Structure 1
Amino acid sequence: MAVRISLLLKKLDTLTYEEFHAYWEGTHANIFLDCPVIKDKVVKFTQFHFDRTLSATLAAQGTPILDFDGQVDIYTATFEDLQVLLADPEYQSLVVSDAALFSKFSESKIMIGYDKDFILDGKRV
Structure 2
Amino acid sequence: MARSQFRMTVLVKPKKGMSYEEFFDYWENMHAPLFSSMAIAKRNLRKYEQFNIDPEMTGVVRNKWGVGMGPVPPFAGIAQFEADTPEKILEIFDDEEYIKNVAPDGVNFVDRSAIQVVAGYYVTIFET
In the other structure, the counterpart of 1:107 is 114
TM-score by length of 2: 0.85
Which SS does the other structure have where 2:122 is aligned? coil
Structure 1 counterpart SS, 2:11: strand
Taking the aligned partners of 1:66 and 1:110, their CA distance within structure 2 comes to 14
Which blocks of at least 5 consecutive residues in structure 2 are unaligned? none
Aligned to 1:29: 32
Are 1:47 and 2:50 an aligned pair?
yes
Instruction: Report the equivalent of 2:75.
Output: 68
Q: What's the RMSD between the two structures over aligned residues?
A: 1.6
Q: What amino acid sits opposite 2:42 in the alignment?
A: K
Match of 1:77 among 71, 84, 91: 84
Is structure 2 residue 116 aligned with structure 1 residue 93?
Answer: no
- The alignment partner of 1:2 has SS state of strand
2:98 match: secondary structure: helix
**1:12-39 Cα distance to aligned partner (Å, 9 max, x none):** 1221111101111111110011012101
Distance 2:53 2:121 in 1: 22
Q: For 1:45, what is the secondary structure of its paired residue? A: strand
Superposed displacement of residue 105, structure 1 = 1.9
* In 1: Cα distance, 2:62 partner to 2:5 partner: 33
**How far apart, CA to CA, are the structure 1 residues paired with 2:30 and 2:101?**
12
Deviation at 1:76, TM superposition (A): 1.4
Structure 1 gaps of 5+ residues are none
CA distance in structure 2 between the partners assigned to 1:78 and 1:56 by the alignment = 35
